[in-house]
Structure 1
Amino acid sequence: MVQCLGTIRPSPSLSYFATYKRQLSFRSSPITGPANGFSPFRRIFNAYLQSNSATTGAGSQSPSEPSEVIFIGTGTSEGIPRVSCLTHPLKTCEVCSKAAEPGNKNRRLNTSILVRYPRPSGSCNVLIDAGKFFYHSALKWFPSYGIRTIDAVIITHSHADAIGGLDDLRDWTNNVQPHIPIYVAQRDFEVMKKTHYYLVDTSFVLAGAAVSELQFNIIHEDPFSVQGLQFTPLPVWHGRGYRSLGFRFGNVCYISDVSDIPEETYPLLKNCELLILDALRPDRSTATHFGLPRALEEVRKIQPKRTLFTGMMHLMDHEKVSDYLMKLMETEGLDVQLSYDGLRVPVAF
């Protein structure tokens, strides 16, 4: 269910998840915790298995206007290049030095994607996370790809690299559209009441001041619909005791911030064709993020058709890690790659 400013709206049918036989196509170039903590998902998955038909409607695929996922950012909270690396008097950071070059794929801002899909009234743009570098990402990619409106923002968790850009949405609500719906879990909304109190309760705003006009919708552990496309939350751990959400839409599964996947989430990842997964560093995991070795273990377990890693820090050299991942295609048949800021991946819903 989705709770909107104190009102309850029933969530759409879970029949959307009954049939996963549609194909995704891709283009590789951007320019052309305790398991019982997630017990509600047993009910969701059972309903998912019992469904026999797929949802059609405003989010349906149009041959003339394909759906796509656009990587607005693929880096850590601090961004790449690091200022501290570029100003170090004695040590040169190879990745950050490369990232300082225009157009280099090691340049990464806060992790975020935009899901773009057709509807009768035109393209729908759903943003997942608006971090503290959101303005800079939007400045780069929105004009380049003809993105004007933001039809909704879905929040994975309430860290600064996921919600720090909510204030920047004022440009849209002041000049493009009257408001933006925000879909957020209750626990993260409670954080927003403190970090963005003036956006949650606009009575604090002085007369004549312009702030983002946001409509906060509380999401629960059930699928919910955004402009005709259904999203299923994928609960994961992002450090001990801290829950973050991934999301499944169609056959795309997006998990950006994760240190462990509870057993009850795996059934929701079945028949995933495109997995977008956290992979912070090349050597090991941390208390809050998968490293590349663990991320690859999860890929082997989930068995998606294709995987794109995201959320990389400055130890992940795009060219070097990509060369290593290409060898896994030859040795294991694993289709795994690094994403990068500005990458566009056509998908079908």
Structure 2
Amino acid sequence: MSAPTGRAAAPPAGTVTDLRSRRTLLAAAGAGTLLVPAALEGRAGAPFTASAVAAFLLAWYVLVARAGGTRGRGVAGLVAEAWGPVAGRAVHACYFTGIACGQAAVAGAAGEFAADGTAATLVAAAVLAVATGCAVSGVLPGPRGRRLRLVSVLALTAGWWLLPGLLSLDGRLPGGGEWGVGATALVVLFAWVGMEGDVPPPPHGRVRARARLLYGPVLAAVLLTLLLSAPRPGPDAASAPGVAGVCAALVLTAYCVTNLAACGGRWPLLLGSGGPPGGAHGSATGVWVAAGTAVAVLFLAKSAQLPAAALFLLPGAATAAILVLAAAAALRRRGRWSRAAR
């Protein structure tokens, strides 16, 4: 759940905009590609809800793009230009909270993939411990490692689709409660994290060139809806943790490492210290605070007997807040332009 952290100005009017669909897909692709379909597996109406969320996000994408986009400055930069640095720090706070709470969900899911019962809790704790140690010491995956991580999560997602029951998350709520449409929509938003920070400005030219702006988001929406329409496991499907579950836990640990490191880099921006993102002291402090938050959330969830799938509501809510702030900033900027044109 990371995004550009600078306040760089939007690209000038004559700049050629990179509208390749691959860029948008790579911005959103990640742990959520596997975790969201697994968390919502078997939920009635999940594909329809995902389509509704996608329609909202496409409208949001166009609105933000027409306000100059977020590419190169992030949502915090867009909001700060509209309302000032305090508003920009509010965006950083939403990111930090969402990422930190999200690691509890990712670690909890890793535990459920790899083991059952108490062993699942121990695996989740181990994932957070290893990820925190790596993030604090600066042991992060390089470009090749990130590519391998992405290929691995896509392969696991394909295996989950082709072999129902290969990987499973317990989405049952205490007392037999049901997931509402709103809760499902918040979980779906987790799959879109990353896209909001890489919205390009609209290209200048013909309508066809402008339409290319939506190629990436539309393709991502179609793929997510397809994943949520996966065949449900039959009564004979294997559901016991196995090699695939252990592999998924390892891949998710790698995502936890970079996500906790992203919290460290965002910490000085959240405090308004003015230092460069990822400074040594600020980075270590931010990682420890984020890791402590994730441990607390995971402990509370286990105490309340909540499944890992329910924890995706927290980063989903943070993402929703970020999208609302970005949309409001875009509307404010467009209002200024309209008044200036009169």
| Shared fold (TM-score, shorter chain, > 0.5) | no
Which structure ranks higher in relative contact order (CA pairs < 8 Å, sequence separation ≥ 6)? Answer: 2
Range of TM-score over shorter length:
under 0.3
Normalised by the length of structure 2, the TM-score is: 0.26
Which structure carries more strand by proportion? 1
Normalised by the length of structure 1, the TM-score is: 0.26
